[in-house]
Amino acid sequence: MSRIAGSEPIRALIIGCGAIAGGYDEAAPDSSQILTHAKAYLRHPKFQMVGCVEPDREKRAKFMWTWEIPKGFASLADVDIPYDVASVCVPTQYHAETLEALLTGPARLVFAEKPLTDDLERSRAIVRAYREAGKPLAVNYLRRWAPGLIKLKAEIEAGRWGSFIKGSAWYTKGLLNNGSHFLDLAAFLLGDLRPVARLGAINDGRSDDPTLDVLVKTGHDAPLYLLGANANAYSIFEADLLFAEGRISLTDSGFHLVRRTVTRSSRFTGYSVLGPARGSDSGLGQAMLDAADNIARNLVDQTPLNSTGRTALVAQELCAALACLPET
């Protein structure tokens, strides 16, 4: 990170003290990996965590102790301190009411976990209301901040990989909850997507947000298959993207990238094959810090946010359209 102008710290309030708020980093708070809001704010020189909100008293006290937060509150209505950024880390069913309450609050910017809400109409209304109020709304589709994936996007746009041909991806735990991560990433890398088919569902007990097999297509009519798996066996988030000039694979939840370019076969004259794999870190383990940096720069000099309410709404609209299709 380069230095950001301005001497005043950016005061952060974290609402909800669960896994993504800080829990994922509690086991190794001193490691270089940054997976949560609290650790990103703690590590970023521009931020100062001033408070947290959590109805569970014991969880709130532990969170305050772990992340050196001076003030804790049982509800958002109880907060009586000034803050500049609010992180919304409550369960998805409480996103809408929290975002609606923050709209008229003191926060200069709101950073919400994905999905935006679990109600499409309320998501639409919230995005519209934040836009009309002139209050920036960032949404944590984290891969949009990963440096390796930003670099990959630039390579694709520069034509380094040729035309996109076809892709497939595996995910677990609900089309909106987790499948939207891949749909948002695919839109980030490849452009607008359109719903084509609902192919089936996984019997994993998720009736409210089923884990679906779906097909979408790019603006150039190239297909992308998003295939569900059962999280009761194990979690997976992996993808293969085939281009005219090579193959790109995302493994280990997108923390690792594998590139293979087209080369001439040394065995079979006249044939082209994929060359040796070249692996690299996607930077996802530092992307929360990059998100915090992007937020700080937005507040200081209006640098555009990488992931917004608008882009999150596009992903939710696509999920809703796919879920409404008849199974084929």
Q: Is the pLDDT of residue 3 over 70?
A: no
Asked if 202 and 120 sit in the same domain, the reply is no
Retrieve residue 303's tokens.
């640098």
Asked if 182 and 96 sit in the same domain, the reply is no
Asked if 250 and 265 sit in the same domain, the reply is yes
In tens, the pLDDT along 63-117 reads 999 999 999 999 999 999 999 999 999 999 999 999 999 999 999 999 999 999 9
* 242 is a domain residue: yes
Asked if 271 and 292 sit in the same domain, the reply is no
Cβ 226 vs Cβ 171: under 8 Å: yes
Asked if 101 and 128 sit in the same domain, the reply is yes
Number of domains the chain is built from:
2
Asked if 60 and 127 sit in the same domain, the reply is yes
Distance CA 185, CA 26 (A): 27
Distance CA 260, CA 274 (A): 6
Asked if 48 and 109 sit in the same domain, the reply is yes
DSSP string covering 26-57: HT-TTSS---SHHHHHHHSTTEEEEEEE-S-H
Distance CA 178, CA 113 (A): 12
* 2 is a domain residue: no
Task: Give the mean pLDDT of the chain.
Answer: 96
For residue 29, what pLDDT band results from cuts at 50, 70 and 90? confident
Domain of residue 27, CATH code: 3.40.50.720
Overall average pLDDT of the 172-177 stretch: 97
Q: Is the pLDDT of residue 135 over 60?
A: yes
For residue 6, what pLDDT band results from cuts at 50, 70 and 90? low
Domain of residue 272, CATH code: 3.30.360.10
What is the 8-class DSSP label of residue 101? H
What pLDDT, on a 0 to 100 scale, did the predictor assign at position 30?
86
Retrieve residue 211's tokens.
């884990």
In tens, the pLDDT along 263-289 reads 999 999 999 999 999 999 999 999 999
Q: Which amino acid, 132?
A: E
What pLDDT, on a 0 to 100 scale, did the predictor assign at position 243?
98
Overall average pLDDT of the 237-260 stretch: 98
* 325 is a domain residue: no
Q: What is the pTM of this model?
A: 0.95
Asked if 297 and 245 sit in the same domain, the reply is no
For residue 38, what pLDDT band results from cuts at 50, 70 and 90? very high
Retrieve residue 309's tokens.
């309410």
* 319 is a domain residue: no
Phi, psi of 266, rounded to the nearest 5 degrees: -85, -10
* 49 is a domain residue: yes
Asked if 195 and 215 sit in the same domain, the reply is yes
Asked if 163 and 132 sit in the same domain, the reply is no
Range of the domain at 16: 10-142+287-308
